[in-house]
Structure 1
């Protein structure tokens, strides 16, 4: 056979095969075109979206079907272990673009290589899944997951002791394992379900949380029964103090350890604190300050002008101080807790020595009348009732070295309940009735006593109007809470304040030891003031025992009474 003949024999079958393939392609292309023509304006065969077979559906029909299938208010079922929950997708941040989803479904199978004809034909033999045009807000999804988790989660319960009030019977509520929903898994599966990628209920794992065994709880019950079989004895600070089972019963609890994987007999902190407080009340013994007794009126000083005063030896008596004791509450709590944990029936009762604020040695330094002053009034007036009430309150006050005396601080607000009555009071240049009116006379009296004692004068305010029963420029007014009379005990000994008031006068005497300070009041002349009454200077000269001298001057300007 010649080469030409052999070539002809091979070419003919090849041409026939090519013609057949070409014909098949033409036929398939024609079929694809026919399918498109038949489904013009409709979803092509094989198209699925959100679990819906959209083949042959128009845009309007598909939109209605998708609206029903993807309704964000239709509850989505979540199966978590044995719990079945429901949540509205809208609460989880789900939102769907229906128009965009329909457009995707109608376009599916119409694009791609060779004009999309292969994609069209593929739909005749296989389905094509079209993704919804939907979104899920991450923050809302996190909140929904947290909300579902709270409905499923349950902490491990290690059990609980149930003890009778008298401590004679101990039972226990058994332990119970906890559970925790797998949040990460729920988040991903919930998202996939809402976006149409996972049909059916959302199933999510719930993991068991470990807990102790019932046998371990029974061991704690046995420990409690043994501890309550006899008293817990507290030793220290006097005679041993037994805590009977009835007193200890309310304190005992089943105490979880290592996240509930172990338990032991423990204490309830709040109940233990209450028990310790009651024990402390039994054992605390407050210290007793040394007491100084001295006459309320040893001498009379009432000068309104120039005056010099020197401390005078005083007839005083001293009641010695006594130390006390106080229970260390925190240490006692720890001691009882250790006894409970170890099953011991003995615990230490720690006490500390409580020292008096005023020692006997300090009180014995109160040897002199360091300052005193007396002012007068007409008896039978309402203001006298107020003065006498205030004097009774202040009498016996002890001011420690370095301590500040505040008249408002000691007496407080003047009220009817405390025995004060309405009486004239200077306000804005006028006399008006006020409960507690007239007590400025007591303020003036104690001011002068501190003045002549040479003590540090901190706060004082003179009256706006001059009242002739007071030393001019050497007096003080008082009002609660804004106008106070205050001085500081700047000596090394306590100061005892004695105050007494009778029908016609009030006296304040200060006892202590100021190191022999001599005080002189130098009163200047009255100077007329335009539009006012007068101004006056008063100088205090303090001569200390070591020879030092201190001079201080206060200028006071008085107004005229506003008629």
Structure 2
């Protein structure tokens, strides 16, 4: 066996000597520079991400939510600021507008609230992007609140808001009365889009931010508010500025603003406002006691020889009606305010043929009631009232109002103060006794088959009248009105004889009338009543009160038409003994 020597021993590792520099006694490792560089990178990275983590843990500089600055605060500080300052703002009503009109929305009822924790989480979420980190440090960061939304509640509240905001499109109008014009502005049609509004609020609501315009379908009126106002300020104002003069040769007359207003009407066509003046109404205004009045004479129906007689109409010269409204309207827009008009031969307004068509030719009803002739003052009122209604003609479809025919009931109009019943007591008033005329007119209307529009029986029954078939009268309070429901006109004739008041109707008989009476029932005894009125009139009393029903049946004389039965009920008070205190 060979003993190894130090020079050739194979058990000891001897590194090779670099060939490049045989003089170096010490050699360098080739791995050390890379280790150092890697360590630096790791350290730098760690430092960067550490800094990023620290920066991210803070709210970005100058960050604001609803105007509240929470920049550079830590999470706890930011949470406190949001809960104490921003949450109250988020609970205030949300300002919204729909088609320019403001409405408020309650956030709590609408299911809208600030999510504090998520807002902080978003603001302090880890961020490694250097650009974003720079924004956080410099205050360029955009902070947004996180809103919790309950869609069901929001939709429900918007539905209620829609009930307020929605509107049907309404066209503007101009109306005329008493020489004045009144403008009613148009209204846009509005239909709130609830679904889109909910979406907009959920995504765009800014706490304490500006009002939000909610989406809605808007329908504009045919004529805009601006155009209608301009029309009103110019053409309408000019129309009613002052008189318009109608001229025909050497004759003329003035049409007043009141007459033009009474004839005026507004309309819109093809998006443009328009005025029109009624030819017939202007004709009546222009020919009333003026140079342009018609020379034609109307037919008349008069009582002659105890029956109606027609006085024939006569043709004459009158103002031409055609296009009169257009001429006046055009003249109202000029400086001179004059309109040239023509006169031509024409028939009377009420011709002989018109009179004959009314069929006023025969007596259809006569009714009378006795009266106390010893009361001479009351009798004067009966005669005055009878004279006023005699000759009155009520055309088909027209109504007869006794107060209108008699009034005004004043001493200046020929009436006297006489006995009346007021509030159940005897008293005096101008026109006392005219209730008997009311009873007369109610009964002829009842028997002729005319429609009863209004009447009121006396509070106490007077035995000179049919029980349940009579009527009182009080100016300004109680009228007696019936309507002519036949195809014929009717003329009234009334007079006072030595012992009765009479009323007769002339027409063509149309209705056959019958009646039933229940007779008196529920009778009540009189009692003693004390009256402290200054002008109290004592009464002995004695007559009982009662109720009664009157049923009327009507059918045409030829049997072709029958109306439903009509029952009128009334309760009379007893004639109490009145003691004046």
TM superposition score category, shorter chain reference = 0.3 to 0.5
Higher relative contact order by CA 8 Å / sep ≥ 6: 1 or 2? Answer: 1
Q: Between Structure 1 and Structure 2, which shows a larger proportion of helix residues?
A: 1
